[in-house]
Structure formats: structure tokens, C-alpha cells
Amino acid sequence: MLAGLLVIVVVWLYWKWSEPPAVEPVVLPSQPAVEPVAPPKVVTEPPLTAPGPVVEKPVEQTAEKAVEKPVEKPVEKPAPAADAESRYQDPQGRFVCWVPDGWQVQRQGEAADAEVHLVKGKDVIKVAVHGQDWPPLTREDQPRVETAFFERLRLAYPEGLYGQLVSSQWRTLEGELALMMETSITLPTGLVTVQAVEYRRAGRAHLVEMHIASHEQSVWLAALFEKFMARYRAGGTGVSVIGR
């Protein structure tokens, strides 16, 4: 019995001494939690292709096409006519007068004392030269000259209504007294204004009248008549000048 106990004790001691020592677990320091990383997205790009030909878009036409305007060439003004072409020489040598641009000379008949008219549209300049031995005008002749002026107008416009003289005044023309008159005549077709000059030179009576029917240009035509008389020459000698 005792021997059996002794065997048990010996076996237990043998087992106890032969058991390896207990190893304490090693505690590692805690690490922060790592969040899972999502896998990268794979972007699939279309395959590269060779560039095709460039196609130009047609230009849209507007409703109004641009019209190329022709280059306007400057209008060349005609050279002024020579002195001989802008003046009228009476065949009988009674006078020389200036012919304004655009006016036409019309001789009224073939008689030696025929009137000469310068015409442009409805407006007329009448030139008449009479006699051979007329004495120079004097201021005492004014009533007679005015009466003769109205008598000529009544023959030219028998249907007209006549008023008083608008003006009647003396001037000098080529060194001679000249009576300048103006009046208006009412016609069925409208109003006509008449400016007239009468003077004597070298024994001849010179009667020049301007009949103005274009009243929209009456001021310009009145100035034209002054210029006409400034260039009028009796007998083709000298240069006439209207003086006050």
C-alpha cells in the first residue's frame, strides 16, 4: 500500500517537473482601425481614332444679301464755255448779251428790228432795240416810259389783270439814264412778274424785259436779271454796268 502511494508521488513529481513553464501572452499596443479602401474605379476611354477631315459649315445667307455698290466716280463739271459761246452777238450789231447756262436764244423773225428772246422753261428775257435817232432819256420822260411799258404788257397778256408798278427807279447804264420798272400780272394760269429796263444809247432805244413765271425761283431770277444787264452791251461796244 505504501509502496503504491510512493509510486504515485514519484510519477506526479516527474510530471510536474517535466511540464514546460507557462508563457504569459504578449499584449501588443492597440492600432487605429483602418477603414477599408474602395477599389479604384476603372474609367474606360473610347479608343483614339485618327481625326477626320475638317468640314466647314456653310455661311448662313441673311435675308438681305449685301449688294456691292458701284464706286461712284466724281462727276466732272464741264468746263465753262468760251466767251464767244456764252454771248449772243446781234447780226445787225445792235447789242451783245450774255446767255445764261441752259437758256436758249430765239430770234423773233428776220426783220432788222426783230426782238430776241432768251427762253428757259416758262421764263423769258426779251430784248428789243428800236430807232436810229432817239434822244437820251430824261427824268421828265418817266410817265411816258411807264405808260408805254404797260401798253406793251397789255398786248402780250390781253387776258391779264394789271396792278400798279411795284417799283420804278432811275439808274445809270453805260453812262446813260435808265429807268428800271417792275410789276405783276395776274393770269388765269398764275402770276407773272415782269422786270424791265429802258435806256437810250447811240440814238437807239434799248428795251429789256424779264418775264418771271417760276415764282419758286423768283429771287434767284431777279439776281440773274441784274447780272444779265451788267453784261449787256449796246452796239457791241463797251461793257455796261448798272450803277445807283
Residue spans of the domains in the chain: they are 87-243
- Residue 15 pLDDT: 60
Please give the angle made by the CA atoms of 205, 210 and 213, to the nearest 5 degrees: 155
| DSSP category for residue 133 | S
The rounded mean pLDDT for the chain is: 77
Distance CA 240, CA 174 (A): 5
**Residues 182/193, Cβ–Cβ less than 8 Å:** yes
Distance CA 195, CA 175 (A): 21
Please list the ranges in the chain whose pLDDT falls under 70: 1-7, 9-85, 236-244
- Residue the block writes with cell 447811240: 202
- Residue 235 pLDDT: 85
CATH of the domain spanning 87-243: 3.40.1000.10
- Residue 96 pLDDT: 95
- Residue 76 pLDDT: 45
Q: Per-residue pLDDT tens for 161-213?
A: 988 899 999 999 999 999 999 999 999 989 999 999 999 999 999 999 999 99
- Residue 68 pLDDT: 56
**Entry field: residues in the chain:** 244
- Residue 84 pLDDT: 42
Among residues 150, 137, 142, 87, which one has the least CA distance to residue 116? 87
CA–CA distances in Å: residue 34 to residues 28, 29, 37, 40, 63? 17, 15, 9, 17, 70
Among residues 166, 170, 171, which one has the least CA distance to residue 182? 166
